[in-house]
Amino acid sequence: RAIVRELDRIKEQNPAMVSGGVPVQEIDPTLFESRFLKTIRDLGEGHFGKVELCLYDPHGDHSGQKVAVKSLKSESDGPECSNLRREINTMRELYHSNIVKYKGICTEEGGRTIKLIMEYLPAGSLKDYLPRHKAQTSQERLLLYAIQICQGMDYLGSQNYIHRDLAARNVLVESETLVKIGDFGLTKSIKNNEEYYTVREEQDSPVYWYAPECLIHRKFYKASDVWSFGVTLYELMTYCDRKMSPPEMFLSTIGRSHGQMTMARLVKALEGGWRLSCPPSCPDKVYIQMRRCWAHAPEDRVDFKGLIEEFECLLS
């Protein structure tokens, strides 16, 4: 009897032992095994990485779940690889209804290559979705998306991250009434006392979404994300019409064939007060908010909380 009691005590302390006396292997649900990951199709491609739709099917009977998998285009362990690792570490810490959910990682070659596994959003990015669903998407709906993007961004800022690549191509559509921020590839964390992040590496940057201080001094503040949000709001209000895209509008203003000079001209135009103009049929009250995002000095810009209040007023 003493032995039985002793056994019960051990079982209580080690619940994993209980089922039939065979120890149950605790598995980490965020580790995906590469042999169970089946590619279905490509979802998108950036400069260094690509995103694929995969089926994670451990039972091998197509009962598995669809996931979006981000990996590097070339198998390298250069700076791009550490960018993907940083993106993984960022996403893993973010929990918000307007931010794409991290699911886990898949490592290969004994940890030499890594893939990011996230939830799959079938409708794709706003840039894919809006031109195709223009007829059924009212301006009120666009403002709802704007509020949701601001809520995700306000949360990101509260966690001391700067996104640095906010644009319609990086906002994903979960459903007609829910959008989420994705692509944290350029996101940087700021230490509590630092107000901005200075970029060191020379990288392909989404310059037409960037505030003057990013282009001139390579400094990124939370308010620089607000500027990029203003450009994203412009994209929303044009239903991401390619003919009116921010690069298109800028290049048609300053001319195309300036090569290396394009950046300098962009800076000059912005410093001279040039801004994207009000999109056709965009209400003045919405354009006023864009302009508040595009104040030259970061400290003069509205913040995400202020924008949420304004949009909620416009909707009520």
**Of 37, 43, 99, 226, the one binding ligand ADP by CB under 6 A:** 43
**Of 68, 99, 266, 270, the one binding ligand ADP by CB under 6 A:** 68
**Of 106, 147, 152, 185, the one binding ligand ADP by CB under 6 A:** 185
Q: Which does 222 bind (CB under 5 to 8 A by kind): ligand ADP, Mg ion, none?
A: none
- The DSSP-derived string for the chain is -HHHHHHHHHHHH-GGG-GGGSPPPP--TTB--GGGEEEEEEEEE-SSEEEEEEEE-TTSSS-SEEEEEEEESS---SHHHHHHHHHHHHHHT---TTBPPEEEEEEEGGGTEEEEEEE--TT-BHHHHHHHSTTT--HHHHHHHHHHHHHHHHHHHHTTEE-S--SGGGEEEEETTEEEE---TT-EE--TT--EEE--S-----GGG--HHHHHH-EEEHHHHHHHHHHHHHHHHTTT-GGG-HHHHHHHHH-STTTTHHHHHHHHHHHTT--PPPPTT--HHHHHHHHHHT-SSGGGS--HHHHHHHHHHHH-
124 binds ligand ADP (CB under 6 A): yes
The minimum distance between CB 115 and Mg ion, in angstroms, equals 16
102 binds ligand ADP (CB under 6 A): no
The minimum distance between CB 87 and ligand ADP, in angstroms, equals 8
* 179 or 302: CB nearest ligand ADP: 179
Q: Which does 118 bind (CB under 5 to 8 A by kind): Mg ion, ligand ADP, none?
A: ligand ADP
Stretch that binds ligand ADP, among 32-40, 115-123, 215-223, 266-274 (CB under 6 A): 115-123
* 118 or 270: CB nearest ligand ADP: 118
The minimum distance between CB 307 and ligand ADP, in angstroms, equals 23
- Contacts with Mg ion by CB under 5 A lie at 170, 183
**Of 37, 51, 88, 181, the one binding ligand ADP by CB under 6 A:** 51
Per CB under 6 A, residues contacting ligand ADP are 43-44, 46, 49, 51, 68, 70, 100, 118-121, 124-125, 128, 169-170, 172, 182-183, 185
